[in-house]
Chains A and B, each alone.
Chain A
Amino acid sequence: MQGLSINLIPAELGAEELRRKKFIRVQIFGISAILLLAFLASVTISLRILQQQDIRREQERLSEVESRVTQLKNREASLFVLKNRLATASRFLETPSKQVIIFNLVNSLLPSSIAANSMVVDRSGNISVSAATSDSAALDSFLDSLVSKETNQDKVSQVVVESLSRARDGTFRVNFKVVPK
């Protein structure tokens, strides 16, 4: 007799067997998950241990280089002082004072035929000159050069002739004031 099979195992046992196989699958999956997580945990802990060793090494290197720099702190202080002095000094030396500029200008334009008897430069940079000459043309030319932008280097704002007189001997005496820009 072909193809006739009779299952004599009770239905409950079959179902039980299926359930058991299903549970085994669940167990395998659960245990694999736990093992994987345990592996991950151990890897992270190992990485942390290695990282701590690296950090310790870097900190030792840092301490060593810190002590090198600390031993040279006098040189560092000298550099700071040098920089501080030179930075401040440079600001002073950038430009000469207004008084010197105007004095040098008037002095350079003053011809030898005019004798400056007195010159006073005040704190505002105004220069008052008392001069004498017998050469009126030179005096004219000198006053012109003080006023002209080409010769006064654009440093003069105003020239005020306060007094001009001529003595009997032909000497011109002039008092004038130059106001700088």
Chain B
Amino acid sequence: MQKEQINALYHKYKFYIFPAVIGISSLILIAFVIYPQIMKLLDDNNLEQNIAKRSQFLEVKAEELEMLDEDELTNRVNLATGILPPDRDFGNVIEVLQRLTGSLGFTLISVQLGQTTSGRKTDATGFVTKVELIGPQAVLGRLINDIENGPRIMKIQGIELSSNPISGAASVTLSLDVFYSGLPKTLGNLDAPLPKLSSKEEELISKLARSYSPPSTQEAESSPRGKLNPFE
């Protein structure tokens, strides 16, 4: 009886029931299958493009890194950390001063290492160094320029010169600010582009390579720092 009633009801209202069922089924298909899939397609399309873009960027970065000559890069880093070391390196300061003064006929009398100073709108730190020397006044200008453009960043802050006009010798006291700078805290990451050297920086490193050998490969050209036998 119930089945017959249902059939009769369906037969009476089939023009409404059938389209309603079709409509609801269509809505369910659209709402739960088609629409979500299309939205996912669009989202994943963006994702795929981002992945491809990142791959391409990393591919170029990997090629650039592979093309670098490791030895040349190490030499350049040594030269660059030689002129601006990550710490005070007092020994290097004295060695550089001895080399520069000795090459122009000056005798280094004393080197006093002093207090910290800061460097010229950079993150470098400096310390004051007082240098006393004796030598030919005629080449003092050259010595000062050599110190300012030498293999270690040093800036002359004061000069005291007293000369003997007869002998041409001068007694000189130079106040220098000697600089150093800690290594950068971040050394790049996967998504960071490789740093490019400006033309000025390329010129500087080439000049350093021509003029100076890096500290790690340097032979001891400077005069000895003390007596060979301290007990004599």
Chain A interface residues toward B at CB < 8 A = 22-23, 26-27, 30-31, 33-34, 37-38, 40-41, 44-45, 47-48, 51-52, 54-55, 58-59, 61-62, 65-66, 68-70, 72-73, 75-93, 96-97, 99-100, 103-104, 107-108, 115-123, 132
Contact B122 A118 (CB under 8 A): no
* Residue in B closest to A30 when the chains form the complex, CB atoms: B22
* Residue in A closest to B137 when the chains form the complex, CB atoms: A116
**A120 and B159 alpha carbons, distance in the complex (Å):** 5
Let me know if B165 is at the binding interface, CB within 8 A: yes
Enumerate chain A residues within 8 angstroms of B140, measured Cβ to Cβ. 107
**A170 and B183 alpha carbons, distance in the complex (Å):** 61
Contact with B54, one of A31, A62, A117 (Cβ below 8 angstroms): A62
| 26 A–B contacts, CB within 8 A, in A order | A22-B15, A23-B14, A23-B18, A26-B15, A26-B18, A37-B26, A41-B33, A44-B38, A44-B41, A47-B37, A55-B44, A55-B48, A62-B51, A68-B66, A69-B61, A73-B187, A75-B68, A79-B68, A80-B186, A89-B83, A97-B148, A99-B158, A99-B159, A120-B160, A122-B158, A123-B157
B residues 184-232 with Cβ under 8 Å of A? Answer: 184, 186-188, 190, 194-198, 200-201, 204-205
Q: Could you tell me the dominant secondary structure of chain B's interface residues? A: helix
Contact B204 A79 (CB under 8 A): no
Instruction: Return B158 CB to nearest CB of chain A, in Å.
Output: 6
Contact B18 A44 (CB under 8 A): no
* Residue in B closest to A20 when the chains form the complex, CB atoms: B14
Contact B83 A90 (CB under 8 A): no
Contact A117 B162 (CB under 8 A): yes
Most chain B CB inside 10 Å of its own CB: which residue of A34, A47, A97: A97
Let me know if B77 is at the binding interface, CB within 8 A: yes
Enumerate chain B residues within 8 angstroms of A117, measured Cβ to Cβ. 162-163, 165
Enumerate chain A residues within 8 angstroms of B197, measured Cβ to Cβ. 82-83, 86
* Residue in B closest to A50 when the chains form the complex, CB atoms: B41
* Residue in A closest to B85 when the chains form the complex, CB atoms: A85
Contact B15 A81 (CB under 8 A): no
Enumerate chain B residues within 8 angstroms of A80, measured Cβ to Cβ. 184, 186-188, 195
Contact A69 B155 (CB under 8 A): no
Most chain A CB inside 10 Å of its own CB: which residue of B80, B179, B183, B196: B80
Contact A41 B29 (CB under 8 A): yes
Contact A100 B44 (CB under 8 A): no
Let me know if B104 is at the binding interface, CB within 8 A: no
Contact B18 A52 (CB under 8 A): no
Enumerate chain B residues within 8 angstroms of A54, measured Cβ to Cβ. 48
Enumerate chain B residues within 8 angstroms of A38, measured Cβ to Cβ. 29
Enumerate chain A residues within 8 angstroms of B51, measured Cβ to Cβ. 55, 58-59, 62
